[in-house]
Every structure is written in C-alpha cells, then in structure tokens.
Structure 1
Amino acid sequence: MGELSGTTAVVDEARDEIVLDLAAMSTREANAALRSLPDGARARLDNPAGRHNLAVGLTRAVHVRIAGPAGYYVGGLGAAAEVDVDGPAGWGVGENLMSGTVRVRGAASQSAAASAHGGLVVVEGDASLRAGISLKGGQLAVAGDVGRSCAFLAQAGTILVGGDAGEALGDSLYEAVIYVAGRIRGLGTDARVEDLTEADVAAAGALAAAAGFDHVDPQNVTRVASVRSLYHFDTAHHGAY
C-alpha cells in the first residue's frame, strides 16, 4: 500500500485500486482526486454512507466503485467513466450523463437517468418515480419495477423495464422508446403500445445484454412509443381561447 500524492488516498496493490476513505475527506476532495486519475485507472470509495454528489463530472475512462449506498446525483454529468454503486442510490442517479456507465446494485430513488444525453444507467433493483424523465438519448435499464411517470417528457433514447411499470408510463413522450417485460399499469398522455418488430427485439436484447439482465426475454417485451399528437398545437377549438 502506498499513498497517492496530494490526497489522503492509498493504493491497494492487490486489487490494483486507488482507495479513497470518505470518512476522512470531503466530497469535493474525493471528486477532485477522481478527476485527476488517468484513463484506465481504478478507484474505490469507502464509507460513502449515502453521501450526495459522488463521482460527478468524470470525463476520463476510469472505473469507480462506491463501496456502499450513495445519495443524490451519483455519477451525474459524467462522460466515459464507469461508476458502480454497491447498494442503493438516491435521486437523479446518472443525471445528465453524456457517456459511460452508471450501475446501481440495488434500488434507485426518483428521476434515475434524468436528462441523460448518452451512456447507460443500470438499476439492478426497482426505480421510483419519473425514471428516465426528459431522457435525451441515453439508455436506462431497470431490472425490477418502475414507478409512476417513467419516461415523462423523454425526448430520445431507450428504456428497458425488466419488471412492471406504474401509471402514466411515457407521459408526453417524444422519440424515446420504452420496452417493458412485465405489466403496465397505465399509459400517459400521447403514449401507446405498438407492434414489436425484429429491430425492437434486437434493440431490447442488446440493452438487456449490456445491463446483464438474463431474466428479460426480448421477444416478449411490450413496446411503448409516442402517438405524436402533441407535436403540433391543435387549433380545432381556437375560438375557445
């Protein structure tokens, strides 16, 4: 074990990991240390204790393992990095992700993958309300169930739900596509179920494989997409305004 220059980190040579003990440093210090790592480096954050804003703004191809539960916005604003959370995560996991992967080995609170432009957010448990809200091209894969208003205002990208979906699924959906392996409690405004094509089976299968979901049969998912009636203002009753 050796000390990393300029930080309170140490190097676990057996695991080839740089170890940051969050019990002895601030979130700002930990994130600064992560951002200083070169491509290919591996790091572990010990004693996270549900702290917010961990591993945000990473723009290099590093691997970060958070050894415990994380709070709000873990892995947000990232590009190229791979962030794993060994436990549940709070609001906004992978928020505004540009590329890379954020994986939660547990449940996620509200707004998972909110406004993600690229990359992949994986939740190995359930996700709460508004998962994939305002998705802008990223991918979200949830092994379990999702709560109400999943994919609300989702503009582009793909969502795979390995369990059931709550009410108002795909409300005000644009070009994003949702695949649901379980039951759908209710669709939101401008969302509809569409026929599954071979391209859909391939897309759902590729996303399930990337997420490591062997319980999802891509040939038996339900495709939900936009009716596109909200694209244009309806002036049929303009005299009433």
Structure 2
Amino acid sequence: MDTLNSNTFDLATTPLREINAALHSDDVAGEIVIEHPSGAHSVAAGVNAPVKVTVNGHVGYYAAGMNQQAEITINGNAGTGVAENMMSGTVVVKGNASQSAGATAHGGLLVVEGDAAARCGISMKGVDIVVGGNVGHNSAFMAQAGRMVVRGDAGDGLGDSIYETRIYVRGEVGSLGADCVAKPMRAEHLDELAGLLKAAGFKDDDPRDYTRYGSARELYHFHADNTSAY
C-alpha cells in the first residue's frame, strides 16, 4: 500500500478500496489523514471504530456513509448523500454539501458549515444535523426522529410529511410542506437548541432567534379525505 506515512493515505496513488479496507480493519486506531480525494465517491464509508479521520479536499457521493463511532472531518465540499445512514459518531463538512445530506441517518451528529442542497435530512431517523448556511427544498422530508438546525434559510417544502423530528430555523422558510407547522419555543427547546449549536461550534448564536417547526400530526394515518395533502 502506498502511503505518505503510517496514518496518511494518498488517494492520488492508492486505490480507494485499499484505503477503505484499512479503515475497516480490526486494528484501526488513532488519527488517519486522507489526501487528494479529488471528488472520489464513498471516501471513508462504513467506518466502525472510535478513530479520527481527516479528508483534505472535496469528496463525491456518500462520503462517510454508514459511519459508526468515528469523527470524520471533510476539509472541502461533499457530494450527494454525505453521512447517509450514519449510526453514530460525528461528520463535519467544512464546505457545502450536495443533496440528501444525512439521508436516513439514525444517530450521531452531522455538521455542514456551509450550505446543504435539496432534501437535507430526508427520512432522517434520529441523527442531529446542523447546517451553518441554507438548506434546499424538501429538507427534512418524511423526517422521523432527530433534530435539524438551520442557521440560514430553508427552501420550499420544509418538513413535508414530517413525523417527530424537531426543526429549528433562524432565517426564512420558503414554504412548509404537508403537515409541518411552526411550534412554540419552550424552555426545553431553547436548552436543546443551545446544546446542539455548542456541539456544532456555533455557541454564540442566540437560540431565541430561531423558530421551531414540527409535525401537526394530521397525516399519521392515511385517510381518503386527506389525499390532496399527501
């Protein structure tokens, strides 16, 4: 295996399959650096160990997908589905993320310091997502559990067909999706939001500047009279 040193891998000279295999090995430990990703897909996918992985550059589809335990930092932008189906750990994108960031993720924390495109958090199932900028249309679509924080604006269709995810938005919302409504910010929500912002590195934000959104719980069970709302 061609490496720069024992814990640094160069994607310009080492096949991605070899790098991911090393990250999946039983004895993986410590801090790992991946250089020159150049938009490769599935970088650092499927890691299941309490390690720290730093990717220096832009990545393609499904980076850090299925993450468990690891702390993964991407010093660049991320393509479709970053941290998709994450179970635990932390994924931080220092740039922007394409569509479906954090899709179906069950746990852990995903931080996108820039903007996230359409369908951020689609079908999220327990993950916490904090976006430093804006999110695109249909974000938190069919979101089942977890928390989403948007420090900027949200596009149309926010929270469409949402279940029990809690959404906090500081900026403007283009429109709310079916069964998603604004809700009061009680003391427990202010405390929860403050904790999420601190964990994501935005501790100076005032939680009182945010609006909470969630489910009106009108569409949990299909009824013919509600067909037009789906």
TM, length-normalised to structure 1: 0.90
Match of 2:24, as an amino acid?
Answer: R
Question: Displacement of 1:215 after TM fit?
Answer: 5.2
Q: Quick one: which of 2, 9, 12 aligns to 2:3?
A: 9
Match of 2:99, as an amino acid?
Answer: Q
Q: Quick one: which of 151, 168, 175 aligns to 2:157?
A: 168
Aligned twin of 1:113: 102
Distance 1:8 1:223 in 2: 49
Aligned twin of 1:148: 137
Question: Displacement of 1:108 after TM fit?
Answer: 0.3
How do 1:61-80 and structure 2 match up within 5 A? 61-80=50-69
**Identity %, equivalent residues:** 46
Question: What secondary structure sits across from 2:130 in the alignment?
Answer: strand
Runs of 4+ in 1 over 3 A off after TM superposition: 37-40, 235-238
Aligned twin of 2:19: 30
Q: CA separation of 1:46/1:147 partners in 2, compared to 1, >3 Å: closer, same or farther?
A: same
Q: RMSD value over aligned CA atoms?
A: 1.6
Aligned twin of 1:58: 47
Question: Displacement of 1:218 after TM fit?
Answer: 1.0
What do the CA deviations read for 1:162-209 (whole angstroms, capped 9, x no partner)? Answer: 101111000000010100011111100000000101111011111111
Aligned twin of 1:15: none
Distance 2:120 2:205 in 1: 19
* Structure 2: 5+ residue stretches without partners: none
Aligned twin of 2:212: 223
* Structure 1: 5+ residue stretches without partners: 1-6, 13-17
Distance 2:41 2:127 in 1: 22
For the 8 Å contact 1:181–1:216, the answer to whether it is kept is no
Aligned twin of 2:76: 87
Question: What secondary structure sits across from 1:163 in the alignment?
Answer: coil
Question: Displacement of 1:235 after TM fit?
Answer: 4.7
For the 8 Å contact 1:38–1:60, the answer to whether it is kept is no
Q: Which of the two has higher C-alpha Rg? A: 1
Aligned twin of 1:205: 194
Aligned twin of 1:179: 168
Distance 1:232 1:212 in 2: 38
TM, length-normalised to structure 2: 0.95
Question: What secondary structure sits across from 1:71 in the alignment?
Answer: coil
Match of 1:105, as an amino acid?
Answer: K
Q: How many positions carry a matched residue from both structures?
A: 227
Distance 2:100 2:199 in 1: 21
Distance 2:39 2:26 in 1: 23
Distance 1:130 1:215 in 2: 27
2:90 matches 1:96: no
